[in-house]
Structure 1
Amino acid sequence: MSTALTTGRPWRVILLFSIPLLIGNVVQQLYQFADAIVVGRHLGVDSLAAVGATGSLLFLLLGFAWGVTSGFAIPTAQAFGATDHAAVRRSVATGTLLTGILSLVLTVVAPLIAEPALVLMQTPPELLAEATVYTQVSFLGASTMMAFNYLSAIIRSIGDSRTPLVFLSIACALNVGLVVLMVGPLDWGVGGAALATVVAQAVSVLMCLEYVRRRVPVLHLRRDDWRISWADVAAHLRLGLPMGFQASIIAIGTLAVQVALNALGANAVAAYTTASRVDGLAVALLQSLGLAVSMYAAQNSGGGRPDRIRRGVVEATWMSVILAVVLGVTLVVFGTALVRLFVGDGSDDVVELATLMLVINGLSYTLLGVLFVLRGALQGLGHTLIPTVTGVVELVMRVAAAVVLAGVVGFVGVVWSNPLAWLGAVVLLVPAYVREHRRLGRMPVQPAVPTETTAIAIIGPTDGSMVVDAVVTQWVPVITVPDAAARPNRARSRTR
């Protein structure tokens, strides 16, 4: 069910919206845990390292796709916040077309460059064959990943973060079962692990489409909605491409890290892969708050509520800092035990290196939490330059750490690439958002005033009949200056 993020206490709205995202990321990381545990224990440390050696290359292309589809949903959220349903449908049509084109290009081109790219990255010879298979299968199924990411993004853009969680959870459970089957009894190796993810994502796409068809009439496209103008395409690309390039820029830095790791040997690759699985869970939790802030800022921007954006970002920053401290302490205390889940006896060097990485990253999560919230706020407001530049800063810092520090102190230097990249991005983001915060404070406020109650009818889940799914308030905008916004009761009494 779609809900507006333009009413209610900001911290509570953001938290409630982000909780399904948090749970969803936990679920997603858990099935990646399952992949790593099954591959590492059934196929061995070399196979686990081979899967890990593909991470930065997959992130380079699939991360770009994820960023682009997330950017395409921002105009949808802005239109929904403005209660312009025609613009919502037109935005969805535009994003669907662009996502389809990008999916086709990625599916055709990426598998062809997989092996040459892995060779260029100096992947250890003993890992190359399995790494190539895993990468090619993942790229061949890239269209399912893009489709699910885009469908989830547009469902979230109208305020529903719970439904994508349900479908993601089902897909993750299916993925775990398929990995056990394909890697175990079927003995399909690392290719089976990649195929399991593709099949699970395809199922999640079908569930999203059926849900939209039955339950979300605001996203039902009409023939006229497909009359897309170049202005529509340009507006979506203006937001989508920078977010995609930002992810790619970060991934290039990750590639540099991967090359440095490959030069340090299979144990270093396995340790980084193992720690990244655990670290990825904590990062995903913080990232969820950033995504929630992005949708919150987009809807309130469309609804003319700069006052809510200012308050919400400040409150979300505090929530993110608190969460970062809790996560950091958890990894410092339980890091070794978590690493032991992935590797068996006789891999003490891998455990020691992976634990060191978790401690260093865990102590730096406060930086990452601030980074996600401020960057999400700027992206939700339609800003692309500063978020993209922060990606460049992260690239420079990661490459410097990989090239310089790794040559001096080895694995420890590679590990420091993440905290240094986060610090560089935060140094740029804080003053950029402070300027935006002040600008928002000078903007007129368009508060929502309830006037009448309207029932929303949607398609019933079984027989196609019309049923009442929710009752919402219809809002009439009233323009006030910021000083009047501080006296909401008087402003609303004059309206009445």
Structure 2
Amino acid sequence: MTQPASRSPSAAKRRDLTTGPIGSTLILFALPVLGSNALQSLNGSANAIWVSHALGEVALAATANANQIFFLMLGAVFGVSMAANIMIGQAIGAKDIAAARRVVGSCTTFFLALSLAVGAAGYLLTPAILSAMGTPAEARAEAITYLRVIFGAMPFFYFFTFLMMAQRGTGDSRTPFLFSALSVLLDVILNPLLILGVGPLPRMEIAGSATSTLIAQTVTLGAMLVFLYRRGSILVLRPSEWGLLKPDLVVVRALLLKGVPMGFQMIVVSVAAATMMGLVNRYGAHTSAAYGAATQLWTYVQMPAMALSAAVSAMVAQNVGAGRMDRVEKVARVGCLCAIVGAGVPIALLYVLDPWVLRAFLPGDSPSLPIAIHINSMVLWGFVPFGVAFIFSGVVRATGAVWPPLLAIIIALWVVRIPLANLLEPTLGADAIWLSFPIGSCTAVLLAGGYYLWGGWRKGRILPTTSPRGEAPDTGLSPPAGAKDVEPATAP
């Protein structure tokens, strides 16, 4: 006999995002996502501090070069993880637990195979990759050592990313935050111990920094799997359900067709950022340092919109699955308002406190400091429309409409921002670069908003939620073969 819904351990931990107040639900869901993003950024800053102080600038240059590859690999898998998140969310919203389990099984196999392939290929190709990047000769040996350990950790990073996104698809953003905090804590503690060889630990120098990340990620992933298994999560298959690990071609096809464009969007942004850095470097070390300090602040300014976009996608996916398009429109409106406030408030504070905040990255007497203040005076406000564009893109992506957001960001960056900077540079100098940022952001919000208002995304679905071979959708009244913890659907 099936347990009542109120007593099912799995149901108790899944959050229904298709009912209840939208504003508070969205904010409460977004806050842990924001916390996870902030922790990852702080972790990277802490690791850089340890490497630079303990091993010197050459080691820091080595990690900086290696991390460019690492972030590119994570960005590439982000899109596929987001596609899995959306498919799981739509299935949960439709109360189709069988479809959700099929997605989990196929995605588990897909991510394991992908991560192992990337890890092995990356380990072998590390020297060639760093040569292609033009890594400085004096930093090359240390960069190879560091990056090879990171590629060894790639299977754990990829599967951890998948589980984090999948949990958000089920309506749970708190658990990913807690395990992200555990991973960061372990990494921060182990970094100096393994770099310096404290106590019985070996002195590993730059390899110690990468190894601390590997250990932290592996331990946290294991702890998360145990936790999810013990609480009856649908994200961890029982032995009787291992047949679901056989890839479902419909799921894999959706992962690739929808995930690859979203991943490519991250690559487009990364390459555009590198291109803009090249333009900035023309103006010398002081301007480059000022730009680097300013971008440190931009990272945190963008975090609320990024967290809200992830929350909006999860909410919209469940409501699309439940057929609640009325709530989808409300989620979009509330999300845009929250993005405006979330970006506007810190930007307003920075305009007042900028000279003092920037001194965390630049000495008070540095000639770069006034340049950084000038850069922020021209650029910061543009993150408000850019944040709203994030929300529109998060809404339409949750239905499976992945190409319009990609085209919007390509046009904003490669048709408007970068060409505009080059076109105006002879007249305005470096100001042409700074001016191109808000103009590109306004272009992005106009394109994303236009598609939201008039595009055909409302009819989209990323994956049918009916069971295979013509069976009726799983309503929870009877569990699928081999499942023991499927709960009945609750009323919408």
TM-score of the pair, normalised by structure 1: 0.79
**CA-to-aligned-CA distance 1:18-56 (integer Å, 9 cap, x gap):** 111112222222222312333444455565455445554
Does the aligned pair in 1 maintain the 2:109–2:245 contact within 8 Å?
no
**Alignment coverage as a number of residue pairs:** 449
Equivalent runs, 1:141-290 vs 2, <5 Å: 141-184=153-196, 188-221=204-237, 222-260=241-279, 271-290=290-309
Does the aligned pair in 2 maintain the 1:78–1:299 contact within 8 Å?
yes
Deviation at 1:372, TM superposition (A): 1.2
Does the aligned pair in 1 maintain the 2:389–2:448 contact within 8 Å?
yes
Distance 1:198 1:417, change over 3 A: farther
- Provide the C-alpha distance between the structure 1 equivalents of 2:454 and 2:71, rounded to a whole number of angstroms: 32
**CA-to-aligned-CA distance 1:364-395 (integer Å, 9 cap, x gap):** 22022102111110111111110221232244
- Provide the C-alpha distance between the structure 2 equivalents of 1:265 and 1:51, rounded to a whole number of angstroms: 23
Q: Is 1:109 the counterpart of 2:121 in the alignment?
A: yes
What's the counterpart of residue 28 of structure 2? 16
Q: Which residue of 436, 450, 453 maps to 1:434?
A: 453
Q: Is 1:315 the counterpart of 2:330 in the alignment?
A: no
What's the counterpart of residue 463 of structure 1? none
Does the aligned pair in 2 maintain the 1:293–1:316 contact within 8 Å?
yes
Does the aligned pair in 2 maintain the 1:121–1:259 contact within 8 Å?
no
Q: Which has the higher contact order (CA 8 A, sep 6+)?
A: 2
Deviation at 1:335, TM superposition (A): 3.8
Q: Which runs of 5+ in 1 are unaligned?
A: 441-453, 455-465, 478-496
Distance 1:64 1:268, change over 3 A: farther
**CA-to-aligned-CA distance 1:300-327 (integer Å, 9 cap, x gap):** 0000100000011101100110111112
More displaced 10-residue stretch of structure 1: 37-46 or 299-308 = 37-46
- Provide the C-alpha distance between the structure 2 equivalents of 1:322 and 1:476, rounded to a whole number of angstroms: 34
- Provide the C-alpha distance between the structure 2 equivalents of 1:208 and 1:183, rounded to a whole number of angstroms: 27
Indicate the RMSD between aligned Cα atoms, in angstroms: 3.4
Does the aligned pair in 2 maintain the 1:79–1:85 contact within 8 Å?
yes
More displaced 10-residue stretch of structure 1: 159-168 or 48-57 = 48-57
**CA-to-aligned-CA distance 1:205-237 (integer Å, 9 cap, x gap):** 112211111113333421342343322211222
Q: Which amino acid aligns with 1:254?
A: A
More displaced 10-residue stretch of structure 1: 302-311 or 378-387 = 378-387
Deviation at 1:166, TM superposition (A): 0.6
Q: What is the DSSP-based 3-state SS (H/G/I as helix, E as strand, rest coil) of the residue aligned with 1:475?
A: coil
Q: Which amino acid aligns with 1:276?
A: T
Distance 1:140 1:279, change over 3 A: farther
Q: Is 1:364 the counterpart of 2:382 in the alignment?
A: yes
Q: Which runs of 5+ in 2 are unaligned?
A: 1-12, 460-475, 477-483
- Provide the C-alpha distance between the structure 2 equivalents of 1:389 and 1:114, rounded to a whole number of angstroms: 32
Distance 1:204 1:291, change over 3 A: same
Does the aligned pair in 2 maintain the 1:253–1:395 contact within 8 Å?
yes
Does the aligned pair in 1 maintain the 2:351–2:377 contact within 8 Å?
yes
Q: Is 1:77 the counterpart of 2:89 in the alignment?
A: yes
Deviation at 1:411, TM superposition (A): 6.0
Does the aligned pair in 1 maintain the 2:80–2:263 contact within 8 Å?
yes
Q: What is the DSSP-based 3-state SS (H/G/I as helix, E as strand, rest coil) of the residue aligned with 2:400?
A: coil
Distance 1:143 1:252, change over 3 A: same
Q: Is 1:295 the counterpart of 2:314 in the alignment?
A: yes
- Provide the C-alpha distance between the structure 2 equivalents of 1:52 and 1:405, rounded to a whole number of angstroms: 31
Deviation at 1:5, TM superposition (A): 0.3
Deviation at 1:189, TM superposition (A): 4.8
Deviation at 1:7, TM superposition (A): 0.3
Q: Which amino acid aligns with 2:314?
A: M
Does the aligned pair in 1 maintain the 2:17–2:318 contact within 8 Å?
yes
Does the aligned pair in 2 maintain the 1:64–1:247 contact within 8 Å?
yes
Q: What is the DSSP-based 3-state SS (H/G/I as helix, E as strand, rest coil) of the residue aligned with 1:207?
A: helix
Give identity over the alignment, percent: 30
Q: What is the DSSP-based 3-state SS (H/G/I as helix, E as strand, rest coil) of the residue aligned with 1:141?
A: helix
Does the aligned pair in 2 maintain the 1:78–1:303 contact within 8 Å?
yes
More displaced 10-residue stretch of structure 1: 251-260 or 156-165 = 251-260
TM-score of the pair, normalised by structure 2: 0.80
**Higher percent of residues as strand:** 1
Deviation at 1:113, TM superposition (A): 4.7
More displaced 10-residue stretch of structure 1: 101-110 or 13-22 = 101-110
